[in-house]
Amino acid sequence: MKYTIAIVFSTLLALSCHSQTIDNTNYYNHQTELVSTNWLRSSDAIPIIIDELLKNGIEYSTISFGNILKINDSTRLAITISFEKNDKEFGFIYEETHGIPLNVHDRDFLKNRNEASYVQAETDTAGETNFMMVDPLPSNLFLLKQRCYWFNFDEKGTKFPVSKEVIKQILRQDIREYLKTAK
């Protein structure tokens, strides 16, 4: 009996040591095939961004929504959320595009922010759309791409490794990492 208990305990200990926390470095390894996938919309992301700004000491009075930044004489950029830190202006842009297949390389722009670019669509009152490339983004702007914030779900409420709650935590991680660089 002692040996059985010892074996069970050792097995459980080994399994717990090998269990892996899902975070922004490994969540693509946990995608589940053949189930539904969805993405965090702006209505999901904006409250999270605001909450993280407040938790990181950004004063509520310095947070703004939808400000327009003049990049040059011909390009204006809509900022999802802007804020002040140490008397400097910063902002987040939440790019609302996504698609299949899910690809870990969609996160590559986070590794080298100097290579982050953004395409903004501008529609006039006649319905004509003009696409403007901002490449690279100014260093005080942080890009968050919806296609990186996916989660698996089904109609039964099954718990998948990358659930909506898990991906919200991953978005929080990315925001915190950006905020460390806002100086």
Retrieve residue 168's tokens.
Answer: 């919200």
Residue 110 CB contacts under 8 Å (≥ 6 apart), including other chains: 148, 174, 177
List the domain range (segments joined by +) for residue 126.
2-181
Whether the CB-CB separation of 49 and 168 falls below 8 Å is answered with no
Backbone angles phi, psi at 16, to 5 degrees: -70, -30
How many domains, in total, are found in the chain? 1
- Mapped onto helix, strand or coil, the DSSP state of residue 135 is coil
Helix orientation angle between 42-55 and 164-181, rounded to the nearest 10 degrees = 50
pTM for this one?
Answer: 0.85
Distance separating alpha carbons of residues 127 and 116, to the nearest angstrom: 28
Quick one: pLDDT at residue 98? Answer: 94
Residue type, 36: S
Distance separating alpha carbons of residues 183 and 85, to the nearest angstrom: 7
Quick one: pLDDT at residue 122? Answer: 86
Number of CB atoms found within 10 A of residue 144's CB? 22
Nearest to 136 by CA among 121, 115, 120: 115
Quick one: pLDDT at residue 19? Answer: 55
Distance separating alpha carbons of residues 173 and 67, to the nearest angstrom: 24
Whether the CB-CB separation of 79 and 16 falls below 8 Å is answered with no
pLDDT beneath 50, residues of the chain = 3-18
Task: Tell whether omega for the bond before 136 is within 30 degrees of 0, i.e. cis.
Answer: yes
Quick one: pLDDT at residue 55? Answer: 97
Whether the CB-CB separation of 155 and 167 falls below 8 Å is answered with no
